[in-house]
Amino acid sequence: MKKHAFVLIPAIAIIGIEVMSAHLYPAMTAEVAAQGQGSTAVFLPDGKVKLPTGFRKWVFVGAPLTPNGLNNGSAGFPEYHHVYVEQKNVDAYLKTGVFPEGTVIVKELTRVLNPTFPDGSRTEPSGRGFFNGEFNGIDMTVKDSKRFAKTNGWGFFTFGHHPLPYDESAAEAPISQCGGCHVANVAKTDMTWIQFYPLLRDKAGY
């Protein structure tokens, strides 16, 4: 009996460890596996991507603005575009001139703060100009050459152009909505509007 007990105890212990491991470290799901190559993009089994989190801690590279007041009242993107890139991917771009696979670029939109002039500007103690108003949407691009071969290796997603809260997930945007404009205008700069982001454009470093 003692001999059998000696054999059973390790077996029970091993089973217990396996059960505990399964609980603490669940098998890799399609959602997690899709993050390959260290990307922060999380793809769901249906091909949609989850709303990014923590991006406001990334490197802020620029904020283009094309207000309605300067575009006959109907700008395609009337908000500020606050653009964020993870530091590791900024560093890679500064060294090589291209973004590595898995790069995520987030563009968070903010409305112009309460315009008081026809051009959308207002007066503040610092002078007349344009100032950030409320959050109004998120767009995101992901570099994955295999998944997005039809749009030069980048996928384009929007989580809504509206105030918070944003949509929790998004399907890839049609080429006519986002990708086509990038292909036509910034294909030579890794599908990114580098000319608007001094840190990346001038490679001046931090």
The verdict on residue 65 lying in a domain is yes
Give tens-digit pLDDT for 42-100.
999 999 999 999 999 999 999 999 999 999 999 998 999 999 999 999 999 999 999 99
Q: Please state the domain count of the chain.
A: 1
The arithmetic mean of pLDDT across residues 174-196, rounded, is 96
The verdict on residue 40 lying in a domain is yes
pLDDT at 17 over 50: no
CATH code for position 124: 3.50.70.20
- 3-state SS, one letter per residue, for the chain: CHHHHHHHHHHHHHHHHHHHHHHHCCCCCHHHHCCCCCCCCCECCCCCEECCCCHHHCEEEECCECCHHHCCCCCCCCCEEEEEECHHHHHHHHHHCCCCCCCEEEEEEEEECCCCCCCCCEEECCEEECCEEEEEEEEEEEECCCCCHHHCCEEEEECCCCCCCCCCEECECCCCCCHHHHHHHHHHHCCCCHHHCHHHHHCCCC
The verdict on residue 115 lying in a domain is yes
The verdict on residue 38 lying in a domain is yes
pLDDT at 5 over 90: no
Better pLDDT: 15 or 148 = 148
pLDDT at 36 over 60: no
Give tens-digit pLDDT for 98-150.
999 999 999 999 999 999 999 999 999 999 999 999 999 999 999 999 999 99
The verdict on residue 20 lying in a domain is no
The verdict on residue 194 lying in a domain is yes
The verdict on residue 15 lying in a domain is no
Per-residue pLDDT at 205: 86
Range of the domain at 165: 29-202
The verdict on residue 177 lying in a domain is yes
